[in-house]
Amino acid sequence: MDEQMIGSEHQAPGLRLDYDFPGCRHRVRERLFDPNLIRNFNEIQGCRVACVCDRKSGRRQYVKTRFPGIPVTDDLNQVLAAEEVDVVVVATPVSTHREIALAALEAGKPGIGAQTSSVDVIWDLATHDLSISYYLWERKPAEVSAYGYRYQHPKLIDTAFIHLHFEDGSAAIHHVSWLCPQKTRRYFLAGKRGSLLFDDTREDRMLCFIDQGLDSRIGAKDDEVKELYYKPGKVSYPSLKRVQPLRAACENFLNCIRKSEKLRSDGHAGLAVVEMLEAAELSIAEGSKPIHLTD
């Protein structure tokens, strides 16, 4: 690819289809993840959430209060045996995905996984950033190194810098943090033909393109007499349709079932992202040592 480096900053303050959500809620800095899945699927035409499954009574009561009319249970086997449930959305800690997903497949119900439980800021926020890098490069990095800090949480990493290095010499640097009081969702991509800046928090002009500009210093010889200057490139704002990422993911999943569309974030992408997250954790545990990944 032409691009040489990407940087991201991610901070936070007709067909009837029925869905079940094992593990409906997990709290990370007072943010709710899975209720958004329930809401999005319930709002999509032709789709209905048939049941929510969670082992914790408090979580089940929360769903009953926020989503009246949606049945709740703590028995996954009962859900998988229910004829009215067509597919399953697994919204549980990553370590439990395999067991639940296999049980759903054995019951003849396809499913999609959604990572919800976060041990630290890396698994909470970097998941999205690394997914974007994998989408842009279409492959895993050759090496991952990371720096993590515990400023406010005695046990949890609340600020991290993750460096991805690819075989072609390109690189990506991601900054994630729980400390900033202002929500930040920015991605910067620099390449031979210019650079792109995407800011997901803006209402308009979310995507900014800056062309290469002029730099007379490049290639200048020692005996050459000329003015040395740098002129920034022209700035333009390509039109970009406003889309809610979670809604788009839910609709893509449904269309894979209805219309045989390709899943944008499939099992290969999910595995690659988990491997990068694990490598980042291992790098921090070993003093920010570079961790090599294999294909």
Domain count along the chain: 1
Among 16-30, 119-133, 187-201, 218-232, the minimum mean pLDDT is found in 16-30
Q: Note if the pTM is more than 0.95.
A: no
User: Residue 228 has which token pair?
Assistant: 């040395």
Q: What is the pLDDT of residue 286?
A: 97
Q: Is residue 216 part of a domain?
A: yes
What are the tens digits of pLDDT across the range 77-94?
Answer: 998 998 888 888 888 877
Q: Is residue 251 part of a domain?
A: no
Q: How far apart are the C-alpha atoms of 46 and 51, rounded to whole Å?
A: 16
Q: Is 203 helix (H, G, I), strand (E, B) or coil?
A: coil
What are the tens digits of pLDDT across the range 136-174?
Answer: 999 999 999 999 999 999 899 999 999 999 999 999 999
Q: What is the pLDDT of residue 174?
A: 96
Instruction: Answer yes or no: are the C-beta atoms of 79 and 86 closer than 8 Å.
Output: no
Tell me the longest C-alpha to C-alpha distance in the chain: 81
Assign 295 a pLDDT band (cuts: 50, 70, 90): confident
Q: Is residue 24 part of a domain?
A: no
Q: Is residue 174 part of a domain?
A: yes
Look up the CATH number of the domain holding residue 125. Answer: 3.30.360.10
Q: Is residue 204 part of a domain?
A: yes
Q: Is residue 148 part of a domain?
A: yes
- The parent domain of residue 152 ranges over 3-10+120-243
Query: Looking at the predicted structure, is the pLDDT value of residue 106 above 70?
Result: yes
Instruction: Answer yes or no: are the C-beta atoms of 19 and 27 closer than 8 Å.
Output: no
Q: Is residue 234 part of a domain?
A: yes
